[in-house]
């Protein structure tokens, strides 16, 4: 099924000896509402009639800055490896929108267990390259490394 969301920018790279490469940019606010940034984009790369999300083997939503998109275009022109394919370790697979979780700020060992709350969106890759997630209850955006998913009894869910 074709993508129904509207792309805000399309970049076509025509080479004399290769097929045309289409890079489509989609506004992040189409996925996360007003939590998204105006200049963050989800990238779809492929031919004129089809394409795949960048990176191809990642299931989470990943948004890129315009500087990241520019490096992608340069790598296409140079014929080198896609720089957007190298990502930090993905977040815990159970960190998703509406999942129950516990946030404990890094460096607060020995203090109470942290804040139990709910995730308000899926994990997103920030400009710095870190995975972040928006937590309800006035917590806001925090790194996924500080968040632990919980089961419906409030127990920690181990990774893997």
The domain total for the chain is 2
User: Angle at the Cα of 22 (from 16 to 23), degrees rounded to 5?
Assistant: 130
Q: 1: pLDDT confidence band, cut at 50, 70 and 90?
A: very low
Asked if residue 104 and residue 57 are part of one domain, the reply reads: no
Q: What are phi and psi of 9, to 5 degrees?
A: -155, 140
In a domain, 125, yes or no: yes
16 CB burial (10 A radius; 0-12, 13-18, 19+)? exposed
Q: Express each pLDDT in 62-74 by its tens digit.
A: 788 888 888 888 8
Q: Express each pLDDT in 8-53 by its tens digit.
A: 899 999 888 888 889 999 888 887 776 666 678 888 888 777 788 8
Q: What domain range is 108 assigned to?
A: 88-160
Asked if residue 97 and residue 78 are part of one domain, the reply reads: no
Query: What's CA 76's distance to the chain center, in Å?
Result: 21
Q: Is the pTM of this model over 0.75?
A: no
Model confidence at 7: pLDDT above 70: yes
Q: Which residue bears the tokens 């509207």?
A: 6
């Amino acid at each position: 099924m074709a993508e129904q969301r509207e792309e805000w920018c399309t970049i076509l790279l025509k080479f004399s000896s290769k097929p045309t490469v289409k890079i489509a940019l989609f506004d992040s606010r189409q996925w996360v509402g007003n939590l998204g940034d105006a200049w963050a984009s989800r990238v779809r790369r492929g031919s004129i009639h089809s394409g795949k999300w960048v990176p191809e083997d990642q299931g989470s939503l990943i948004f890129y800055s315009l500087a990241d998109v520019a490096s992608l275009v340069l790598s296409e022109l140079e014929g080198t490896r896609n720089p957007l394919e190298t990502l930090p370790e993905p977040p815990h697979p159970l960190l998703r929108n509406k999942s129950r979780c516990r946030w404990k700020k890094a460096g607060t060992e020995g203090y109470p267990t942290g804040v139990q709350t709910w995730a308000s969106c899926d994990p997103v890759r920030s400009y710095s390259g870190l995975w972040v997630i928006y937590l309800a209850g006035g917590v806001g955006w925090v790194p996924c490394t500080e968040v632990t998913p919980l089961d419906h009894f409030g127990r920690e869910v181990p990774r893997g």
